[in-house]
A and B are shown apart, each in its own frame.
Chain A
């Protein structure tokens, strides 16, 4: 059971990084395309800017979920570090519980926000509901929640997990 869950989280993590990485690559191409159309085609395109922004929103919330699993968010662990080990363990559990509660809030109230704004469209893409553009927030929070459950239930990703599979090859 634990193994299956771990494997599922590995797959989810990979999906987060994959989608977020693809978003970065796409916006890196789309924005210069806007410059290109302005000069070479002599006619500004309206879509690259808003599209890049929407991809960035998606990128942020998926990427942030992945950051939780890879433990790469900025935190101040000075006070916890100064405590004796039992208290340190309790603080770690408290932090994860708080994060889980916050993520749950973000899923619930983020969805509420989607519902409120569902019937209006965004000006730049009249076919796209404003509600949809708010979906990455509850989605990313739900993923974070799954990763928190993994950490509390099974523990942090083991040594050699894909989350650490990003170190640069030593050169020179």
Chain B
């Protein structure tokens, strides 16, 4: 009954169009009334939910990514990718995906990836004779890599939603191979499609020019080296590394690349404030919602419920994946991470699934949700930039879904893909 009141009011409020953050808060108030908890306690949780040092990584990573992306980084990463794969058949599609892999090393946002790589790549692909819809689909599918390849502020959100018990450094390292696997499977798919449809290939880049391109892009890719190197060598914590990355990104953009103007900065900050505040208030409200869930002992009940369905780990993981894919169609990544992690993590933990591994399963799964209709932030942005409709994109995106579902299956059932790299580092 408790669950019905809490989840029922949440879904009702979301359905009529209340912003998800406020729906979480309002449902928490309803739940508090139901189990007789004073409303000030809900206020306390909303505020304390954002009062967490690890969360500072989110504004830092978003800011660093924004400075890099808008400071001409996207163009340089595209040039770099072009050196490596541009000469293959379907080259520009592969360049698009590889540029997103690189972009993932400086940003954790698939929306930012789509808007920066997409605005460089889609017009270029269209000019070279690729269909507009295909170019858009390549862009949005490739951009999901950004949330897996470190740094990823969504990994920070997962760590937080897991009760702060999962190391952010571990999650970052774990994201490497799933991200790479996703990139490779998309590249494989694009090579296959390009062969069948006879898409063009580019010219090899002359060595001298290639070297210049590599050096220029190197400064940007160094961001991830600073972040991971700093964390792993113990120079700073994950949060601190994000702040240092911001300052580094700023210095490179302003004094090395020098193609960004100071007067652009207020607008950039304006954008960053809107993006980050939207995520942070979501986290605050979700924490009040999680508090009422904890008081109702809902996670334990859900675990008990799943145990009645099956006692087989693989079946449970399959069911959870189906559930998350459905939810991912309807809702965005961050709110789902915040709502589902505290409920589902105890379930899979009771089957001995590693929380870091499960984090990767959730990120890949909900990452697919970003490019599924009817609600998919990355898909919306991709359509706007590719100047195509959601219907056109949806009609032709299914091969990309297949490739991504294969990756999801591998990541779900082969935990080593996630856990191998973290196990190399003696943590």
Direct A–B touching, Cβ under 8 Å: yes
Residues from chain A with Cβ under 8 Å of B277 in the complex: 20, 59-60, 62-64, 66-67
From known contacts A78-B374, A79-B16, infer whether A34 and B240 are also in contact, taking CB-CB under 8 Å: yes
Q: How many Å lie between the Cα of A64 and that of B239 in the bound state?
A: 22
Indicate if B306 sits at the interface (CB-CB under 8 A): no
Question: In the docked arrangement, what's the CA distance between A98 and B23, Å?
Answer: 9
Residue pair A109, B43 in contact (C-beta under 8 Å): yes
Chain A's nearest CB lies how many Å from the CB of B247?
6
A49 to B51, CA, bound (A): 11
The interface residues of chain A lying within 8 Å CB-to-CB of B278 are: 63-64, 67, 72-74
Whether B269 lies near A60 (C-beta < 8 A) is: no
- Among A53, A92, A116, A166, the residue within 8 A (CB) of B274 is A166
A66 touches B274 (CB 8 A): yes
Q: Which residues of chain A are within 8 angstroms of B272 by Cβ–Cβ distance?
A: 21, 24
Pick the contact of B280: A35, A59, A74, A172 (CB < 8 A): A59
A1 in the interface, Cβ–Cβ < 8 Å?
Answer: no
Closest B residue by C-beta to A92: B17
B229: CB under 8 A from chain A? no
B46 located at the interface, meaning its Cβ lies under 8 Å from any Cβ of chain A in the complex: yes
- Interface readout for A97-111 with B: 1 if CB under 8 Å, 0 if not? 011001001100110
Per the 8 Å Cβ criterion, residues 88-102 of A in contact with B are 91-92, 94-95, 98-99, 102
Across the interface, B240 reaches (CB within 8 A) one of A31, A59, A72, namely A31
Tell me the nearest residue of chain A to B16, going by C-beta.
A91
| B239-260 near A? 1/0 per residue, CB < 8 Å | 1100110110000000000000
| Contact A60 B75, beta carbon cutoff 8 Å | no
Interface size range of chain A in the complex: 35 or more
Residue of A nearest to B275 (CB): A72
Q: Which of A70, A73, A109 contacts B42 (CB 8 A)?
A: A109
- Tell me if A57 is interfacial: C-beta within 8 Å of chain B: yes
Given contacts A79-B15, A102-B25, contact A60 B281 (CB under 8 A): yes
- Given A56-B55, A102-B26, A106-B43, A64:B18 Cβ within 8 A: no
Question: What residues on B are CB-neighbors of A3 within 8 Å?
Answer: none
Contacting A63 at CB < 8 Å: which of B281, B334, B374? B281
- Identify which of A78, A99, A172 contacts B18 (C-beta below 8 A): A99
A169 to chain B, nearest CB (A): 7
Tell me if A137 is interfacial: C-beta within 8 Å of chain B.
yes
Complex-state Cα separation, A170 to B410, whole angstroms: 39
**A9-36 interface mask toward B, CB cutoff 8 Å, 1 = contact, 0 = none?**
0000000010011001101110110110
A80 at the binding interface (Cβ < 8 Å): yes
Provide the residues of chain B in CB contact with A56, threshold 8 Å.
Answer: 50-51, 55-56, 59, 280
**Contact between B40 and A109 (Cβ–Cβ < 8 Å)?**
yes
Chain B, residue nearest A28 (CB)? B246
Minimum Cβ distance to chain A for residue B155 (Å) = 19
Instruction: With both chains docked as a complex, state the minimum distance between the C-beta of A101 and any C-beta of chain B, in angstroms.
Output: 8
Shortest CB distance A58–B (Å): 10
* Nearest-CB residue, chain A, relative to B64: A28
Q: Jot down 18 A-B pairs with beta carbons below 8 A, ordered by A.
A: A17-B270, A25-B269, A28-B243, A29-B247, A32-B243, A56-B280, A60-B281, A67-B278, A75-B19, A78-B374, A106-B25, A106-B46, A136-B47, A137-B47, A167-B267, A168-B268, A169-B264, A170-B119
Interface residues of A (CB under 8 A from B): 17, 20-21, 24-25, 27-29, 31-32, 34-35, 39, 49, 52-54, 56-57, 59-64, 66-68, 70, 72-80, 91-92, 94-95, 98-99, 102, 105-106, 109-110, 112-113, 116, 133-134, 136-137, 165-172
**4 shortest A-B CB distances, which residue pairs?**
A63-B277, A73-B19, A64-B281, A31-B243
